Amino acid sequence: MDSLLEEQIQTLIAKDEIRNVIMRYARGVDRLDEDLIRSCYHEDSTDDHGHWKGPGQDFAAFIVQSLKERSHHTTHSIANVLIEMHPDDPNKARSEALSLAYLRRTNDSGIECLDFFSGRYIDIFENRNDEWRIAKRVIVHDWSMTAQLDSDSFPLPMDSFIQGTRDTSDLVYQW
């Protein structure tokens, strides 16, 4: 195989592994899975989530506890993932991923609310010991809003669906 083709294949593999880390992170946050979130960060990584700044490994415990306290359902949708390999170092990459976070909660008056956060993960990834993980993450806020919910207006019976859970008993963890 020629060297250009080999390099292109390695780039595709790296980008797929990086994209997988970003998706595992979203699953970990929505399922409140500290171990899964932690597995996305290198040991010496940093995370700047605006309201929280510190080691990426420590962010896992913080966000799980924070989401338990302030919401009862979350959905993190990831879109427009652009991964750029470092021009001089094949073990480094930068990514930008649109994060649409939906957080459902009951406010102090007992009203159901949906907080919506639109932002971007700006990540520096490094491949160490044959494993791509986040070395540095900064969350960029683009816009956000909160809406009150009318739960009686949804047109389908929800009791016929398997209900998602915020832990490892969720269907996605079952084989």
pLDDT for the residue 152: 65
Are the C-beta atoms of residues 98 and 80 closer than 8 Å to each other? yes
For residue 150, the model assigns a pLDDT of 80
Asked if the 3-157 domain carries CATH number 3.10.450.50, the reply is yes
Nearest Cα residue to 22 out of 8, 7, 4, 41: 41
pLDDT at 130 > cutoff 70 = yes
Joined tokens for residue 22: 């970003």
* Residue 153 pLDDT class (50, 70, 90 cuts): low
Predicted pLDDT of residue 123: 98
CA distance 29 to 78: 12
Q: What b/e sequence results for 72-95 when a residue is b if at least 16 CB atoms lie within 10 Å of its CB, and e otherwise?
A: eebebebeebebebeeeeeebbeb
More confident residue, 157 or 145: 145
In this predicted structure, the answer to whether residue 151 has a pLDDT above a threshold of 70 is: no
Q: Which residue has the higher pLDDT, 92 or 161?
A: 92
* pLDDT tens readout for residues 73-124: 999 999 999 999 999 999 999 999 999 999 999 999 999 999 999 999 999 9
> pLDDT, tens digit, for every residue of 44-60?
999 999 999 999 999 99
Supply the pLDDT for residue 101.
Answer: 97
d(CA 81, CA 93): 13
- Identify which of 124, 141, 125, 144 has the alpha carbon closest to the alpha carbon of residue 133: 125
**Strand partners of residue 154:** none
Closest CA to 31 of 70, 76, 69, 62: 76
